[in-house]
Amino acid sequence: MSENIIYKIVNITKVFPGVVALKNVSFDIKKGEIHAIIGENGAGKSTLMNILSGVYRPEEGHIEFDGNIVKFKDPKHAQHTGIAMIHQELSLSRYMSVAENIYQGRMLKNTLGFIDRKKMVSECRKYLNSLGVDYIDPRMLVKYLSVSQMQLVEIAKAVSLKARLLIMDEPTSSLTTGEISILLNIMKSLKNEGVSILFITHKLEEVLEIADRITVLRDGYFIETLNKEDTTLDKMVSLMVGRDFDKKSHREFIKDYSEKEVVLEVQNLSASNNVKNASFKLYKGEVLGLTGLVGSGRTELLQSIFGMERITSGTILINGKPVKINHPSDAKELGMGMITEDRKEQGIFLKLSVQDNMTIVHLKQLSNAFLFINKKKQKEIANRYVNLLAIKTPSLKQISRNLSGGNQQKTIIARWLMHEPKILFMDEPTHGIDVGAKAEIYHIIGDLSKMGVSIILLSSELPEVLALCDRIMVMHHGTIRGTLSHEEANQVKIMNFILEERKEMEKSPSLPGNMPGSVSHPSTGGGVPKPRLVG
């Protein structure tokens, strides 16, 4: 084995019930390199990372670490060997301090055998300082940290483990542009110290910026390992999807609203402390963008209209008639659908089958007079939407937790398309999915618009709303600060609507953010309890 290779993957195969997740995958990772793993949802990236970090064991093949064949019993065994993994869904304990999280399972003790909190805080501070994040207090409870700061704590934990290989699964998926820049710089610093980093991401621009080499997986197979100097964005996408690929969406945007029918009108709507006197109109067949900083009330606005949040004042009109929506079932009866931001917490039922997840809001239509479900009809309609949306699943009976993120998202979309909504709310519908699945969802949005479905698309990705939306609303501190037509909208004009917010954030670290140029720190105001220090 070359002295320059730290980790070698040899003919790895992993099979789950009904699914071959990986088939004869082989490649290597060099010492002190940032090695990106890319592929569509379902390509086998996360499965491979779980094998490399000791979570799963392969059916066939083996792995070599530093020249020796290793068979990990569990993740702790991998950690002792020098391998640490930061999962996309962070695993920190929210009600423990930063220092306690970093030393969880291996608390430092004094000569009497008692936990030495003072030493843990001191050592933790050294690791945080080495990453350039000395503003994180080791005594602070994790629940008061922002997502980006939690990521940094996870990295500090890996550094404390003396990890020689750091596996990072979608580390930037929930970060702002400013936070991503900080994280990428830390990754470069770790590389310079000789740490190897295996980096999974759907953001191909980041791959071109930071990776030394790029390995492409497709449908569980190894496709190619590329040097950064020898690749382009288009080449990576084509290797991922297996064909020449047009990732852009093509829509005919609404230019004349004079004869357009208003299907939804919101007048002076307020809900809790997050939505204040919001007013807007949604037209038939329109894709209306909704963007702004996290915490500006975007999600709360959609949830209050859909009956998920209590409305304190204001009026909602459907087709010109005032309506009362006290529960999502009321919204559903009025022809509305809602694709929520957090698909695992609020969208998909992970333990149900693909078929049951799709048809769960359509059961009344699939039942006879005695309320028994017509299984034949249920299977037929589920099959129709699996084919329509190109959902990759071995069968309709597949448990949904075993689907990739993109296919879970398309399953949720299928659920609401079955209901044939007239109005559809989509809250971050492309979050955490690959470029191929994104393009498919973009085309679905375009097709729905042509069919006359009215859509409110909430997205933090400005290129996405600029490419898809007829008009774009920007929220700011719970109010709709401005609306731009497709013709006049650009990133600069949208950012101008939140410019005041950005200036406030530069002065105060207490405001959350999730837009280009914003900075996110734990909130200490606005009714949030003061962060508690431990130790």
Q: How confident is the model at residue 513 (pLDDT cuts 50, 70, 90)?
A: very low
Place of tokens 């890319």: 38
Spatial contact of 84 and 75, defined as CB atoms under 8 Å apart: no
CA nearest neighbour of 534 among 89, 2, 143, 26: 143
Question: With 70 as the cut, is the pLDDT of residue 320 above it?
Answer: yes
**Alpha-carbon span 163 to 31, nearest angstrom:** 12
Tokens 């996405």 correspond to what residue?
464
Q: How high is the pLDDT of residue 182?
A: 80
Please state the rounded mean pLDDT for residues 336-343: 79
In the prediction, which pLDDT does 88 show?
Answer: 65
Mean pLDDT to the nearest integer, 466-479: 91
**pLDDT on residue 249:** 55
Query: 395-436: per-residue pLDDT in tens?
Result: 888 887 777 767 887 888 888 888 888 999 998 888 766 677
Q: Is 220 helix (H, G, I), strand (E, B) or coil?
A: coil
Band of residue 245 on the pLDDT scale cut at 50, 70, 90: low
Whole-number mean pLDDT of the chain?
Answer: 82
Instruction: For residue 442, give the nearest of 173, 248, 258 by alpha carbon.
Output: 248
Strand order through the sheet with 5-16: 19-30, 5-16, 60-65, 68-70
pLDDT value at 503 more than 60 = no
In this model, does residue 341 exceed pLDDT 80? Answer: no
pLDDT per position as a tens digit, 85-130: 887 666 788 888 999 988 887 888 888 888 888 999 999 988 888 8
Q: Which pLDDT belongs to residue 30?
A: 93
Residues 173-222: tens digit of each pLDDT: 766 666 778 888 888 988 998 999 998 888 888 899 999 999 999 888 99
Instruction: Provide, rounded to the nearest whole percent, the portion of the chain with pLDDT above 70.
Output: 87
pLDDT at 518 over 60: no
**What pLDDT is recorded for position 265?**
96
- Give the DSSP letter string of 330-389: HHHHTTEEEE-S-IIIII--TTSBHHHHHHTTSTTTTB-TT--B-HHHHHHHHHHHHHHT
Averaged pLDDT, 368-396: 81
pLDDT of res. 399: 82
What's the confidence (pLDDT) of residue 434?
Answer: 66
Nearest-angstrom CA–CA distance, 442 and 413: 12
Residue 50 or 533, more confident: 50
* Amino acid at position 486, single letter: H
Tokens found for residue 15? 């099979």
For residue 131, name the pLDDT band (cuts at 50, 70, 90). Answer: confident
The pLDDT of residue 531 is: 52
pLDDT of residue 516: 35
* Cβ within 8 Å of residue 426, ≥6 positions away: 339, 445, 455, 456, 457, 458
For the segment 46-96, what is each residue's pLDDT rounded down to a tens digit?
889 889 888 888 999 999 998 889 998 888 898 888 898 887 666 788 888
What pLDDT was estimated at residue 345? Answer: 57
Query: What is the structure's pLDDT at 183?
Result: 81
Please tell me the least confidently modeled range out of 19-28, 73-82, 267-276, 372-381. 372-381
* Residue bearing the bigger pLDDT, 226 or 149: 226
Determine what percent of the chain is predicted with pLDDT higher than 90.
Answer: 27
Kindly report whether the global pTM for this prediction surpasses the value 0.75. Answer: no
Q: What is the DSSP letter of 187?
A: H
Question: What does DSSP say about strands 5-16 and 19-30: parallel, antiparallel, or unpaired?
Answer: antiparallel
Contact 441, 247 (CB under 8 A): no
- Say whether pLDDT at 1 is over 70: no
Domains annotated for the chain, with CATH where assigned, are 1-82+163-245 (3.40.50.300), 91-162 (no CATH), 262-507 (3.40.50.300)
- The whole-number pLDDT of residue 36 equals 94
**Average of pLDDT values for 355-382?**
79
